[in-house]
C-alpha cells in the first residue's frame, strides 16, 4: 500500500476530498429525484402522452446505455474526475431548457425526448466515471463505508427530493420544479472541482489497445469471476422488468388509480426513512452478518415489494396503502443490496479494469432496460396497465434465483482483489 493511502484517515467523515465528492453527489441526487417525479408528470399532464408514448420516453432514457461499453474503455484511459465535472455541468445546463421552453409555450414531446436522450448520454459517462473513480479515492477496506454513504445519499434523496417535489408541485408546475435539479447538478460539479487529491494516470492509457479488445477484456473478466457473473445476470433481469414497471407507474397511479400528482410524490417518499436507517446501519450489519446474508435480506424485501403495486386498488387510501407498502419494503432492500453488490464489484476488480467492469454491468443492466420499457408500454395497450405491471413484478423475482444459488450468499467480509 502506498504512503498516500496509509496516511488517509480511517474514517471517511474526516476525509475532506471524499466528503466533497459525497456532498456534491448528494445534492445532485436530491435534484434528480425532483426531476424523476416531475419529468414524467410533465409528459402525462402537460403533454398528454399515451401509455405507448410513455414507454417510448422511458426507453429513450435508457437507450444511451447501449453504448456504455465504449464509455468504459474511455474511462479506463483518462482521468475520471474531469468526466464527472463535465457531465454534471452538461446535465445542469440541459435541464434548464425544459422550464424555459415550457414557460414560452414551445415545449414539445420531441424536445422532451431529445432531452432525455442527451441526459442519458451524459449520465452514462458520469456513472462509469463515478464508479471507477471511487476505488482510487478511498482504500479498499473503506469501500463498504463509502458505498453505504452513497446508498445513504440515495435513500435521503428519496425523502428529501421527492418530498421537495411534492412541495414544488403544489406551488409550481412540474416544468418549474425541474429548475431545482439543474441547480444541484451545477453544485455537484463545483464540489467535485474542489477535490485536491491527485488522481493517478490510468494504467490503461500507457498501453492502449483496440477498443473492441479492451471491451472484451472487461466482459471476459466479469464473466470469469464467480462473484460477478451471477450479479451480472441478476442485474440484467432486474433492470428489464423494473424498467417496465417504472414506465407504467405514473400512468397507472395518475390515470387508473386517479391519484393526485402531489400525492404520488408523497407515496414515493415512504421508502426513504427505512432506506436511510438501513444505509446508516449497513456497515455494522456487514461486520456482524457478512455481505452474503445482507444480500439475502435485500432480495427478500426489495424484489418482493414490486408485487404490491399491481394489487393497489379500491378506495384511494387502500391504493395509497399498497403503493406506500411497496415503497417501504423497497426502502429496506435497495440500499443493502446496492451496497453489497457495489462493494464486491469494486473490491475484486483491479484498478485498470474498473471503468470497463462498471460499464459491463451498466451495459447488461441498463442496456437491456429500453426493451423492458418498450415491452411493458406496448403490452399495456391490449392487456391493461395493471396486468402488464403484474407480469413485470413476477419477473423481478427471477434475479433472486441467480443470487441465492451463487457463492455470493456465503460471502463474509470484503473479498480480495482478483489477480
Please state the three-class secondary structure of 329-371 as a single string.
HHHHHHHHHHHHHHHHHHHHCCHHHHHHHHHHHHHHHCCCHHH
Domain assignment present for 4: no
pLDDT at site 294:
79
Burial status of residue 273 (CB atoms within 10 A of its CB: 0-12, 13-18, 19 or more): middle
Number of domains in the chain: 1
Q: How far is it, in rounded angstroms, from Cα 215 to Cα 319?
A: 46
Does residue 415 sit within a domain? no
pLDDT at res. 388: 92
Q: Is residue 6 part of a domain?
A: no
Give the tens place of pLDDT for each residue, 272-328. 777 777 777 777 777 777 788 878 878 888 888 899 999 988 888 888 899 988 888
Dump pLDDT digits (tens) for 95-118: 888 888 888 888 888 888 888 888
Average pLDDT in the chain: 81
User: What is the span of the domain harbouring residue 305?
Assistant: 13-196+222-410
Look at residue 216 and tell me if it is in a domain. Answer: no
The answer as to whether 23 is a domain residue is: yes
pLDDT above 90: residue 14: no
* Secondary structure element (H or E) that encloses residue 1, with its range: none
Whether 212 is covered by a domain: the verdict is no
The DSSP-derived string for 274-314 is: HHHHHHHHHHHHHHHH-HHHHHHHHHHHHHHGGGGTTT--S
Give the angle subtended at the CA of 327 by the CAs of 250 and 358, to the nearest 5°. 85
Instruction: Return left, alpha or beta for 61; rule: phi > 0 is left, psi -120 to 50 is alpha, else beta.
Output: alpha
Residue 179 lies in a domain: yes
pTM equals 0.67
Higher pLDDT, 36 or 22: 22
CA distance 263 to 369: 27
Res 193 pLDDT > 60: yes
pLDDT in tens, 384-400: 899 999 999 999 999 88
Cell numbers given for 382:
391490449
The pLDDT, as a whole number, for residue 2 is: 38
Q: CA torsion angle for 166, 169, 171, 177 (degrees, to 10)?
A: 110
Question: What average pLDDT score do residues 348-374 get?
Answer: 82
Q: Which of 277-286, 346-355, 368-377 has the lowest mean pLDDT?
A: 277-286
Residue of higher predicted confidence among 266 and 5: 266
Average pLDDT over residues 136-160: 78
CA dist., res. 159 & res. 101, Å (int): 29
Asked if residue 209 is part of any domain, the answer here is no
Reply yes or no on whether the pLDDT at 8 is more than 60: no
CATH of the domain at 84: 1.20.1250.20
Under 8 Å CB-to-CB from 57, ≥6 apart: which residues? 40, 43, 49, 109, 112, 113, 116, 247
Question: How many Cα atoms within 13 Å fall on the side-chain side of residue 348?
Answer: 22
Q: What is the mean pLDDT of residues 333-348?
A: 82
pLDDT band at 3 (very low <50, low <70, confident <90, very high): very low
Amino acid at each position: 500500500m502506498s504512503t498516500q493511502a496509509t496516511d488517509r484517515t480511517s474514517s471517511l467523515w474526516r476525509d475532506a476530498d471524499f466528503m466533497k465528492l459525497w456532498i456534491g453527489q448528494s445534492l445532485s441526487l436530491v435534484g434528480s429525484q425532483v426531476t424523476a417525479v416531475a419529468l414524467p408528470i410533465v409528459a402525462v399532464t402537460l403533454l398528454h402522452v399515451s401509455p405507448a408514448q410513455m414507454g417510448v420516453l422511458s426507453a429513450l432514457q435508457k437507450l444511451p446505455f447501449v453504448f456504455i461499453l465504449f464509455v468504459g474503455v474511455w474511462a479506463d484511459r483518462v482521468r475520471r474526475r474531469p468526466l464527472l465535472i463535465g457531465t454534471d455541468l452538461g446535465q445542469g445546463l440541459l435541464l434548464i431548457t425544459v422550464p424555459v421552453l415550457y414557460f414560452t409555450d414551445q415545449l414539445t414531446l420531441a424536445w422532451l425526448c431529445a432531452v432525455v436522450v442527451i441526459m442519458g448520454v451524459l449520465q452514462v459517462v458520469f456513472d462509469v466515471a463515478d464508479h471507477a473513480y471511487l476505488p482510487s479515492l478511498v482504500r479498499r477496506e473503506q469501500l463498504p463505508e463509502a458505498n453505504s454513504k452513497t446508498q445513504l445519499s440515495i435513500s435521503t434523496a428519496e425523502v428529501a427530493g421527492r418530498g421537495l417535489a411534492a412541495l414544488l408541485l403544489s406551488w409550481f408546475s412540474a416544468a418549474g420544479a425541474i429548475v431545482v435539479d439543474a441547480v444541484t447538478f451545477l453544485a455537484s460539479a463545483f464540489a467535485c472541482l474542489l477535490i485536491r487529491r491527485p488522481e493517478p494516470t490510468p494504467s490503461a492509457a500507457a498501453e492502449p489497445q483496440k477498443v473492441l479488445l479492451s471491451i472484451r477484456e472487461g466482459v471476459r473478466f466479469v464473466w470469469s469471476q464467480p462473484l460477478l457473473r451471477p450479479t451480472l445476470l441478476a442485474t440484467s433481469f432486474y433492470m428489464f422488468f423494473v424498467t417496465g414497471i417504472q414506465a407504467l407507474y405514473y400512468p397507472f397511479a395518475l390515470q387508473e388509480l386517479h391519484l393526485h400528482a402531489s400525492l404520488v410524490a408523497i407515496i414515493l417518499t415512504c421508502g426513504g426513512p427505512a432506506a436511510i436507517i438501513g444505509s446508516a446501519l449497513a456497515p455494522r450489519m456487514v461486520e456482524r452478518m457478512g455481505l452474503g446474508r445482507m444480500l439475502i435480506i435485500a432480495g427478500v424485501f426489495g424484489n418482493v415489494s414490486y408485487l404490491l403495486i399491481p394489487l393497489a386498488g379500491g378506495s384511494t387510501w387502500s391504493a395509497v396503502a399498497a403503493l406506500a407498502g411497496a415503497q417501504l419494503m423497497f426502502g429496506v432492500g435497495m440500499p443493502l443490496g446496492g451496497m453489497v453488490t457495489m462493494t464486491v464489484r469494486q473490491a475484486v476488480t483491479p484498478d485498470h479494469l474498473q471503468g470497463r467492469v462498471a460499464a459491463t454491468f451498466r451495459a447488461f443492466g441498463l442496456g437491456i432496460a429500453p426493451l423492458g420499457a418498450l415491452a411493458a408500454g406496448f403490452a399495456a395497450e391490449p392487456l391493461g396497465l395493471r396486468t402488464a405491471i403484474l407480469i413485470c413484478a413476477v419477473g423481478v423475482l427471477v434475479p433472486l434465483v441467480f443470487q441465492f444459488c451463487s457463492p455470493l450468499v456465503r460471502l463474509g467480509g470484503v473479498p480480495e482483489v482478483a489477480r
